[in-house]
Amino acid sequence: MDMQDTITHANSSRRISGEYDLHYHDAGNGAPILFLHGSGPGVSAWSNFSGNIPVFARTFRTLCPDMPGFGASPAVVWEDAYSRVAADAVRWFLDELQIPAIDIIGNSMGGNVATEFALAHPERVRRLVLMGPGGLAVNTFSPAVSEGARRLFEFLADPTRPRMAAWVDTMVSDPALITDELLDERMTNALRPGAIENTAAIFATFNDPDLNTLPPLWARAKDLHTSTLIVWGRDDRMLPFEGGLFPFRQLPNAELHVFSRCGHWAQIERKEAFERLVIEFLSRPVE
C-alpha cells in the first residue's frame, strides 16, 4: 500500500483461508511486525489498533489479524485452550505469508497468545512486546477477580449497552475516552449472531481441565528467553499492574515500563508515548 494513501479498514483488509480462515489488516513496508488484539465483547484487530497502524506502517509491514472467533475471523472447534489454538493459527498465518521470524506486539489475551507462540516457536520470534498480558500476571496484591473481569462477564450474561459502558469504563483511566462511537462499534460487533455464545465458549476453554494439561503460562515464563518489553498501565482495572512484577522477575530477558494515568489500553490512552516506546525497542539490534 502506498503510504501516501490513508489507511482504512477497507483498503487494509485481507483474508487468507486454508487450515484456518483469518481476516487481517496489512499496511506498510519494511520488516514485518504482528499485532495481536485482546479479548472481550466486540473486539477485533481494528478496534484495538486502528489508531496505531498508520504510525507503525511508516516503518514496518504491519500485520493485524483477527484471531479465530473474533472480528471477521470465524471460530473453530476448540480442541485446546484458546491461547494455544490461536498461537497455532499464528504459526499457520506466518507460514502462509512466508515470514520465518517476526516481532510480535500482544495486548491482553493477545499477549497470552504471543507468549504461547514464542514458547512453542522461539526461533520465529525476534522480540516481544506484551501489554498487560493475560496468563502471565500473578495478582498477589489484588482481588482474584478484577473489576474488569467482573464487568465483562456481567455483559456476557446480560448484553446491554449500560453493561458494555460499565465494562469499557474499566479499560481506561480517563473516562472521557469512552465515546458513543466507540460504544456503538463495540455493541454492533458484540451482538452479531452467535458472538456472545462464542466469546463465552472461548473463555470457558481456559477453565476446562480436559484442555489445560500444561502448567499455567506464568509457571512457564522462566523458559521464555526472547527479548521482551512488558508494558502496563498503573491504573489497569482488568489486570492490575502489580501482577506484572512476577513475569518481569521471571522472564530472563525482560524490561518493564509502567505508564501513569493509564488503564488496560495503553495503545489508546497513552498512544504517542506507547508508539515511541515500542518503536525504540523494536529498532534495537536483536540480542
Residues designated as active site: 264
Instruction: Report the C-alpha gap between 92 and 98 in whole angstroms.
Output: 10
Residues 6 or more apart whose CB falls under 8 angstroms from that of 280 comprise: none
- Determine contact, residues 123/101, Cβ cutoff 8 Å: yes
3-state secondary structure 157-219: HCCCHHHHHHHHHCCCCCHHHCCHHHHHHHHHHHCCCCHHHHHHHHHHHHHCCCCCCCCCHHH
Pairing relationship of beta strands 227-233 and 102-107 according to DSSP bridges: unpaired
Q: What angle do CA 45, 117, 32 make, to 5 degrees?
A: 55
Helix (H) or strand (E) holding 47: helix 45-49
CA-CA distance, 278 to 103, in Å (whole number)? 11
